[in-house]
Each structure stands twice: as structure tokens, then as C-alpha cells.
């Protein structure tokens, strides 16, 4: 890690006058810093790089994968089976442990790349003025006080305060989430302005898209905004998933219970029964082996992996297996606006002229859709004012839209111009390409663009830009009756109405020019123009987004919109898609003034957050978690990475997301669509249900085996089942029957239920009751049938073979009980999981091999049994199925009465 250097100036650079900054940093605007001074400052502040974080060695990361109680239990099982020289089971158990460890090791390695990815975003070179000369230098050598020159296409090398600027626009979306390039200027802004509003600053890692500028470096390395994000990511502790928390708790409880019960029966046998120490030791091993669900981690991993595969088919890419289940627990989804809730394609929706108001159909850059007046389709050519206005936006435009090979329309140019060009195409002006004689490009200072065009026999000046700026040039407005005096009050009222819908406004004007005119000057444009109207554009909501948000609410999941966009836009979009009430919105500036305690109340009251910074997003996630919420956070930029890492599940965008955001997240949306998150929640809930079903299925097997052994010890009898036979039952039921439950499809009402509480136990009282009930039922029947066979005079090997088959038969029929936890198993959906029937067939074949093949007889001490001896296991299995179905019916009825 780099040596820690002195902290740089902590100033509100954006609010200071440029001349004062030059003085504070003791530099020269024309000559820059002297080389000797640069060396001193490099020594003082360090190189302009983000220090590498201390990383654990690969060996330590690998060893930490084994630091889990359940893994310890599995390793104990492996040691026991090794002591028993049952090497196949030993290697199978160790294989499960190693596979789980490797999966965790690989995924953790990818997650640690998130911090390092930020380093790659920094500029490699910079143009600086030193000793009066312009030099291209390594960006890592920049120091506070360096004078840097920026031009279009440059990646900004440090945090820079602008001192000269000409039409500078910067793409800041990775840092702020702003959907379009932002205008920059040298004028200072308010001291408490958030990053997205600091127009006098150019930040490290962002890109110049237009214009040029000169600025002074104010912060380098870890003191830059992007450096602070990296530090925030290092400070954020990763949240363990609810599943891992519960399994860890369950593993500790199970380990303790196994040790206590085994020790108790060891002492009981030693003090009150005539077993030898060798026999007692073998009984203790049998009891431990019987109590450990060896197949559980493997089945859990497979169930999660199947969930990952299902999600991938629905455009959700899971990076960490346990995160599949986390989605099913989510109580609140915090979503970015641009590109997730909206299309990230600016679209013209409203046209205002002096006579009429029009609506525009269609979304994005696909030039399809009608222009409507009072909800009726109109022909644009029939309205001369509208037609003139549409011609103006067609020619006063430097962008292009084209259809690619996949049939998708793509924009080359700025989003605003793209929206206007698409509107003109919708009106039938695609081939309208009059000669352009001259033009004045858009500049942020002047806030307009103008062109001089030859249209038919006339020469016309067209102007587009900020409505208030364009109106300043006009003294008339164009109407169906010709030119009339400009009615500013009318336009202010109409623009206020459209702006309230969250639409950005663009003004359009024109004027006839002399036919011999060959150029235009800015001075010529300041007066005597005719105002044509205003166009409202917006980044529209995605298709089906309203239904997806409604589905979330019905499932008890709150949806919050956290965006870098302006409050009025955020509020309007929120109201349209069903987030918030269309009135309440809180900005990043307001959040900064709130304490953490106040924030906990705010996150419960507000659903829409505007002009937010990385720190705000992180604080909001923390506040939600402190309120007991399980939080999913979406994001695509570097600015989102700390919040993505802190959230219970971070969701990055696959298309427009940065590598930093992807590496910090647990899930990536392949289509950047909010609706995909809802699909993933459905799958997450299904996975959790299937994991519960697996536990409810596996644990009674262990419970029944343990009860059979404990009853035998208590009665001083011979063991009805041997340790090797116990391992056989555990292995075949886990590999076949339990695995079938991983493929169970989603139940119909999965999205009609509220999210389970994060602290709710994985099984609950009902689950514990079912496990105990079935353990006694299957164990009791197994013990009873063993004694029945003994009473018939059968030898020990025959009685044990029938007892094992009874235990397996009970589990086979109980599988169908577990396919639905509370609902009746027979009826609708009984045949919708073919894997269950395949598993049953495989198990039957395995049991036949277990009972009749000589090598199996030798290994497991079993014997060929008569066909009649299959009847008791079959009847026992049927009894288990119908008794558990009756228990379900009674329990559900009792639960309903309590409600």
C-alpha cells in the first residue's frame, strides 16, 4: 500500500472564485508550477493514484472458506467415516466441502476486484502547463496547483476547478447517475451544492464530450470524488445473507444437540446397560453419523445453482450463490431511475404552439407513433405552425438515428437532439434535407443552436435552445393567422404545466433571411425572431414497469427511487409509474442536513430521492437496514458501488453498468430492466421454499435414525441399523429424493405473500413440529417392523434389511408430502415435477441392488429377502403419506382458527 501522505486542502472549491483558488494553491495561471515545486508537492501529497488496498493472500481466502460450523460438522463426518474405513463416503463428503470452498473462493476473488477496477478508470495522461510550457505528462504525476488543459474526448485526470471554459460538456453518469452530458462553466456555485450540481468542477474519471477548458487541479488520488468512493467501499462491511446467517445458527444448534445427545446416551449405556466400551463407542459413532445431514450442503448448493440457472434464463445473472435466496427475503428495492425504471432514451411527448397543444405517441428513437390533438390523430402538414416547427427541429440538428442489424434504432449525437430528430421522422420529414448554408453550434453560455438553411425558394434561420433564452430573441409568435405579438404569460403558464410532468423543455424559433445571405452571426440573432413553440421531452418509463411495481407492492415489497436527476423530473416519473404520491420528494441537499436518527424516519416516509450523491445512497441503505429492512439496491455507476456493496443484495446493470458496479454487486441484470428484478424475486422465493422443503425432508431421516438407535440403547437391545446402513440411507435419500425437491416449480401464491421477516427462523415452529412428528412416525414404524421381523424368527441380517427398506420407504412417500408444505399434496400440480418420479424410480433400483446384489450384501451386511418382506415397508410408507396429509389438514385448520 502506498505511503500515507499529507491530506490535501479541504476546501469548497466549487463555491470559490477562480482567481482566489489560484492564490490559495500558489500557482500561476499562465506558467503553471515550476518543476521544483511539483517535486515538493509530490512528496507532500503523494502520486495521483488510488492506493492499492491490503488484500488477503489467496491461501488465507481459501482457508477462510472452511470457517463455518456446518463445514466443521461435515469434516467431523468425514473423519468418522474414515475411521470406519468407509472411504467412498469419506471422499464424497470431502468433495462436497472442497467444491463449496472453491465456489466461495472464486466468487470472493471476483468481488475484491471491485476496488481495483476503480483504478482502471483513471486517466493515463494529462496535458499540463509547467514552467510556462505545455507538456503531456503521466497523469499520476499531477499535483494540486497544476494547470491542466482539457479537450473533447479527454478522460479527466484529477478533480479540477475550471478557470477557463468554452462550451464544455462532461459525461458524469458513472459518478453522478446523470443521464446526459452536463454543461460546465467557470462560475462558482452554492457552497452546499451536491456533486451533480457543481458545474464549476470537472471530476476525475469522467469524460469530456464537447468543448474545451483550462482548470487547476485541486484534489488528486484518494482525495478525489472517485477516490472517496473507493475508500467508502473499503470501509463498507459486506452483509452476510439471511440464508448463511440461518444455516450458521442452525449448524451451531445442530452440532451442540448432537454432542449433548450422544454424550448423554453414551453415559446412559455405560451406567445402566451392559454394553462394552467398544460397543458404546460404535453406538456413539452411529448416533453422530445418523444425526449429521451429510447431503445438506450439496443439496443446498445444487438448489441454489438451479435457481441461478432459472434466473439466468430470465436475464438475471447471479454472482454469489447464496444471493439467490436473499432476493426472496427482500422487503425494499431501491432503484436508480435512468435506464432501470426508464428507457434511457429521451423522447418528445408534448408540442406547444401558440394555437394548440399536441401529444406524441411512441417511445425511444424508433420513429413510429402519431401526433395527436385531443387524442385524435392529425396530419402535421395541415397545421402550418406545427409543420414549420417540425421542419425547424429537423434541420437545426446535428444528430443521427439509424436502425442496426438487429432492428434496434440507435442514436449518434446528443439525447435531446435525438428526441427532436425522431419526432421529425414521425411527422414524415425523414427525407427533408434542405441545404445548410451556415450554422452556430450550441454553447452552454449562449444556450441555443442556430442554422441558416435554403428551404425551397426561401432562406430561413432556425433556432433551438432553452425556451427562456430563445424567447429573449423573439418579439413575435407564429399563429395560424400569421405573426402576432409574443404572449409571454401564455407561454410561461403552458411551460409550467408541461414541466410539472417532469418534461424538459426546448424552445424553437425562426426568421426569414435575405436570399443572398451566406452566413449568420450571434449579434444578428438577438432580436426580431418569431417564436414557433415549445417541445417537452422526457426519458419515458419502461414497458410493463407499472405492472412490475404494482406486483412488488402486492408482494409486500416497497420500491424507492434514488436518482441523480432533478426533483421535479423524479417526482413526475415516480407518480406516473406508482412510486410515491407525486408530491413528496427529498433532495440530496436536504438529506445532508439530516442526522442518522432523522434519516431512519425519512426512509419510512419518502419513496422518491433526487440529486443524490454516493454518500447519500450509502446512508439511505444503512438507515433502511437499521430499521430492520432487507434492502436491494440497483446501480450502474462507480458512484453506486459503495451502496451496492452495503446492500443486502446489490444489483448492477449489465448493459450500461460499469465494471466497478458489477464487481461490487451480487446480481447483474442482463437487460437493465426493473421487471427482471421482480422475476428474480419470484425465483428467490421459490428457491427459499425449496430449501425449506429440503430441510423438512432430510432432517426427519436423521431424526428417525437417531430415534431408532436411542430407543435400542434405552431398551438395551441390539442395534436395528448399523452405521454403514445409516450412511447408505443418508446418501441415497439425499442424492435422489432430496435432489428432486430442488426442481420444484414456483407455487401459485408465491408473490401474494408478504416477505418473510429477516430474523424469522428458517423452519419456524411448524417446521420443527413437522420434523419431530415425522421423525417419531418413521422411526417408530422402522423400530416396530424390526421387532416384528425378530418376533417372526428372522435372523438379524434379514430384520435389518427390512428395517432399512422401511426407513427408505417412509422417506420415499414422505417426499410427496414435502412437495407442498401446507397444501394437500394430491391434486393440482402433482405431476408437474417429473424429477420427483425419476428420483423415486432411481431409489427403487438402488434399494433392489442394496438388498439383492452379493457385493452390496457383503459391504452393508444385508441379505436377499423374500418378496413378502417388501409388504411391511410398503404399508409403512403409505401410512406415513396419509398420516402426514392428515396432520397437514389438522394443523392448517388450527392455524386458520387462531387467525
Angle of helix 242-272 relative to helix 69-83, nearest 10 degrees, comes to 40
Which of 167, 336, 565, 689 is an active site residue? 336
Q: Return the C-alpha cell found at 580.
A: 410515491
CA distances from 606 to 334, 480, 587, 615, 665 (A): 12, 46, 11, 18, 25
Closest by Cα among 194, 206, 200 to 165: 200
d(CA 397, CA 411): 13
d(CA 862, CA 794): 13
689 is catalytic: no
pLDDT at 294: 62
CA distances from 139 to 32, 37, 123, 159, 618 (A): 15, 17, 6, 12, 29
pLDDT at 236: 57
φ/ψ region of 447 (left if φ > 0, alpha if ψ in -120 to 50, else beta) reads left
pLDDT at 103: 57
d(CA 702, CA 290): 5
Give the whole-number percent of the chain exceeding pLDDT 90.
Answer: 43
Task: Please calculate the CA angle 357-361-364 and round it to the nearest 5 degrees.
Answer: 120
793: how many CB neighbours lie within 10 A of its CB?
Answer: 8
Q: 356: which DSSP letter?
A: -
SS3 for 57-85, per residue?
A: CHHHHHHHCCCCHHHHHHHHHHHHHHHCC
pLDDT at 764: 80
- Output the furthest CA–CA distance in the chain (Å, rounded): 121
d(CA 687, CA 329): 11
Collapsing DSSP to helix, strand or coil, 380 comes out as helix
Tens-digit pLDDT profile for residues 188-224? 999 888 888 899 999 988 888 888 899 999 999 888 8
d(CA 263, CA 284): 8
Decide if 239 contacts 646 (C-beta within 8 A).
yes
* Number of Cα atoms under 13 Å in the Cβ half of residue 180: 20
d(CA 363, CA 87): 64
Decide if 178 contacts 184 (C-beta within 8 A).
no
Closest by Cα among 771, 801, 794 to 863: 801
d(CA 102, CA 95): 10
Q: Return the C-alpha cell found at 768.
A: 420443527
Closest by Cα among 467, 471, 487 to 479: 487
Q: Return the C-alpha cell found at 795.
A: 435372523
Decide if 18 contacts 147 (C-beta within 8 A).
no
pLDDT at 4: 46
What is the four-CA torsion angle of 591, 592, 594, 596, rounded to 10 degrees? Answer: 100
pLDDT at 662: 78
pLDDT at 738: 84
Residues of the chain with pLDDT under 50: 1-4, 107, 111, 114-123
Residues 6+ away with beta carbon under 8 Å from 422? 347, 348, 362, 364, 365, 366, 367, 401, 409
Q: Return the C-alpha cell found at 783.
A: 423400530
pLDDT at 450: 95
Q: 338: which DSSP letter?
A: I
Over its C-alpha atoms, the chain yields an Rg (Å, rounded) of 36
Alpha-helical (H) ranges within 273-295 are 277-291
pLDDT at 498: 93
Question: How far is C-alpha 190 from the chain's CA centre?
Answer: 34
What values do phi and psi take at 371, rounded to 5? -100, 130
Residues 6+ away with beta carbon under 8 Å from 131? 31, 32, 33, 34, 35
Helix (H) or strand (E) holding 558: strand 558-562
d(CA 150, CA 184): 12
pLDDT at 2: 42
Closest by Cα among 336, 756, 751 to 559: 336
d(CA 700, CA 686): 22
Question: How far is C-alpha 654 from the chain's CA centre?
Answer: 10
DSSP string, 657-718: --HHHHHH-SEEETT--HHHHHHHHHHHHHHHHHHHHHHHHHHHHHHHHHHHHHHHHHHTPP
d(CA 655, CA 346): 17
Amino acid at each position: 500500500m502506498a505511503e500515507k501522505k499529507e491530506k490535501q486542502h479541504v476546501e469548497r472549491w466549487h463555491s470559490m472564485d477562480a482567481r482566489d483558488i489560484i492564490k490559495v494553491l500558489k500557482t500561476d495561471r499562465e506558467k503553471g508550477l515550476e518543476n521544483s515545486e511539483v517535486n515538493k508537492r509530490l512528496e507532500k501529497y503523494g502520486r495521483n493514484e488510488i492506493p492499492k488496498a491490503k488484500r488477503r493472500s489467496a491461501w488465507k481466502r481459501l482457508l477462510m472458506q472452511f470457517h463455518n460450523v456446518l463445514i466443521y460438522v461435515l469434516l467431523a463426518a468425514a473423519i468418522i467415516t474414515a475411521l470406519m474405513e468407509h472411504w467412498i463416503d469419506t471422499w464424497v463428503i470431502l468433495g462436497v466441502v472442497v467444491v463449496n470452498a472453491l465456489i466461495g473462493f472464486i466468487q470472493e476473488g471476483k468481488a475484491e476486484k471491485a476496488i481495483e477496477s476503480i483504478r482502471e478508470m483513471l486517466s493515463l495522461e494529462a496535458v499540463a502547463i509547467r514552467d510556462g510550457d505545455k507538456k503531456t505528462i503521466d497523469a499520476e504525476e499531477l499535483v494540486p496547483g497544476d494547470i491542466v488543459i482539457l479537450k473533447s474526448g479527454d478522460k479527466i485526470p484529477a478533480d479540477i476547478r475550471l478557470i477557463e471554459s468554452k462550451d464544455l460538456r462532461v459525461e458524469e453518469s458513472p459518478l453522478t447517475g446523470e443521464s446526459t452530458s452536463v454543461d460546465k462553466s467557470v462560475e462558482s456555485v452554492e457552497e452546499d451544492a451536491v456533486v451533480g450540481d457543481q458545474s464549476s468542477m470537472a471530476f476525475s474519471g469522467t469524460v469530456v464530450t464537447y468543448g474545451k477548458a483550462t482548470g487547476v487541479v485541486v484534489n488528486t488520488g484518494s482525495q478525489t470524488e472517485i477516490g472517496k468512493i473507493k475508500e467508502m467501499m473499503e470501509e463498507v462491511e459486506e452483509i452476510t445473507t439471511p440464508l448463511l446467517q440461518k444455516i450458521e445458527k442452525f449448524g451451531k444448534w445442530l452440532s451442540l444437540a448432537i454432542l449433548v445427545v450422544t454424550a448423554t446416551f453414551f453415559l446412559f449405556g455405560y451406567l445402566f446397560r451392559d454394553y462394552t466400551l467398544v460397543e458404546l463407542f460404535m453406538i456413539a459413532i452411529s448416533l453422530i453419523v445418523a444425526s449429521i445431514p451429510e447431503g445438506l450442503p450439496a443439496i443446498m448448493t445444487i438448489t441454489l445453482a438451479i435457481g441461478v440457472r432459472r434466473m439466468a434464463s430470465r436475464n438475471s445473472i447471479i454472482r454469489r450463490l447464496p444471493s439467490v435466496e436473499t432476493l426472496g427475503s427482500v422487503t425494499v428495492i431501491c432503484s436508480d431511475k435512468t435506464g432501470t425504471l426508464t428507457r434511457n432514451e429521451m423522447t418528445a411527448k408534448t408540442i406547444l404552439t401558440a394555437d394548440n397543444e399536441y401529444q406524441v405517441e411512441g417511445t425511444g428513437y424508433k420513429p413510429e407513433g402519431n401526433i395527436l390533438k385531443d387524442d385524435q390523430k392529425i396530419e402535421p402538414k395541415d397545421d402550418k405552425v406545427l409543420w414549420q416547427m417540425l421542419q425547424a427541429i429537423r434541420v437545426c440538428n446535428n444528430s443521427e438515428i439509424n436502425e442496426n442489424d438487429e432492428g434496434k434504432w440507435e442514436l449518434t449525437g446528443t439525447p435531446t437532439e435525438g428526441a427532436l430528430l425522431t419526432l421529425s421522422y414521425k411527422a414524415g420529414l425523414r427525407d427533408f434535407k434542405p441545404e445548410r448554408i451556415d450554422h452556430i453550434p450550441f454553447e452552454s453560455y449562449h444556450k441555443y443552436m442556430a442554422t441558416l438553411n435554403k428551404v425551397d425558394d426561401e432562406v430561413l434561420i432556425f433556432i433551438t435552445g432553452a425556451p427562456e433564452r430563445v424567447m429573449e430573441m423573439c418579439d413575435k409568435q407564429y399563429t395560424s393567422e400569421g405573426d402576432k405579438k409574443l404572449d409571454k404569460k401564455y407561454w410561461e403558464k403552458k411551460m409550467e404545466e408541461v414541466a410539472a410532468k417532469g418534461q424538459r423543455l426546448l424552445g424553437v424559433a425562426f426568421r426569414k433571411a435575405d436570399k443572398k445571405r451566406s452566413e449568420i452571426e450571434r449579434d444578428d440573432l438577438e432580436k426580431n425572431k418569431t417564436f414557433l413553440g415549445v417541445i417537452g421531452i422526457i426519458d419515458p418509463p419502461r414497458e410493463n414497469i407499472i405492472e412490475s411495481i404494482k406486483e412488488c407492492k402486492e408482494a409486500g415489497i416497497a420500491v424507492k427511487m434514488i436518482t441523480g436527476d432533478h426533483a421535479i423530473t423524479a417526482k413526475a416519473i415516480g407518480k406516473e409509474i406508482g412510486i410515491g404520491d407525486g408530491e413528496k420528494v427529498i433532495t440530496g441537499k436536504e438529506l445532508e442536513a439530516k442526522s442518522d436518527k432523522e434519516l431512519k424516519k425519512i426512509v419510512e416516509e419518502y419513496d422518491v430521492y433526487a440529486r443524490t450523491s454516493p454518500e447519500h445512497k450509502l446512508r439511505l441503505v444503512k438507515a433502511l437496514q437499521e430499521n430492520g429492512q432487507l434492502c436491494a439496491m440497483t446501480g450502474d455507476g462507480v458512484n453506486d458501488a459503495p451502496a451496492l456493496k452495503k446492500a443486502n443484495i446489490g444489483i448492477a446493470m449489465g448493459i450500461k453498468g460499469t465494471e466497478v458496479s458489477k464487481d461490487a454487486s451480487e446480481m447483474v441484470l442482463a437487460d437493465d430492466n426493473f421487471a427482471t428484478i421482480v422475476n428474480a424475486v419470484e425465483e428467490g422465493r421459490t428457491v427459499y421454499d425449496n430449501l425449506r422443503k429440503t430441510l423438512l425432508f432430510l432432517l426427519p431421516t436423521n431424526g428417525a435414525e437417531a430415534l431408532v438407535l436411542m430407543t435400542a440403547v434405552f431398551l438395551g437391545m441390539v442395534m436395528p441399523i448399523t452405521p454403514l446402513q445409516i450412511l447408505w440411507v443418508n446418501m441415497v435419500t439425499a442424492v435422489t429424493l432430496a435432489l428432486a425437491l430442488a426442481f420444484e416449480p414456483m407455487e401459485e401464491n408465491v408473490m401474494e405473500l408478504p416477505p418473510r421477516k429477516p430474523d424469522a427462523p428458517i423452519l419456524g415452529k411448524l417446521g420443527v413440529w413437522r420434523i419431530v412428528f415425522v421423525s417419531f412416525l418413521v422411526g417408530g414404524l422402522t423400530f416396530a417392523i424390526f421387532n416384528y421381523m425378530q418376533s417372526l424368527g428372522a435372523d438379524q441380517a434379514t430384520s435389518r434389511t427390512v428395517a432399512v427398506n422401511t426407513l427408505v420407504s417412509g422417506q420415499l412417500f414422505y417426499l410427496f408430502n414435502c412437495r407442498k408444505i401446507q397444501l394437500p399434496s394430491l391434486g393440482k400440480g402433482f405431476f408437474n415435477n417429473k424429477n420427483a418420479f425419476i428420483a423415486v424410480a432411481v431409489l427403487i433400483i438402488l434399494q433392489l441392488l442394496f438388498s439383492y446384489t452379493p457385493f452390496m450384501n457383503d459391504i452393508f451386511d444385508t441379505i436377499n429377502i423374500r418378496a413378502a418382506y417388501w409388504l411391511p415397508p410398503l404399508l409403512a410408507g403409505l401410512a406415513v403419506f396419509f398420516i402426514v396429509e392428515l396432520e397437514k389438514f389438522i394443523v392448517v385448520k388450527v392455524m386458520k382458527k387462531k387467525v
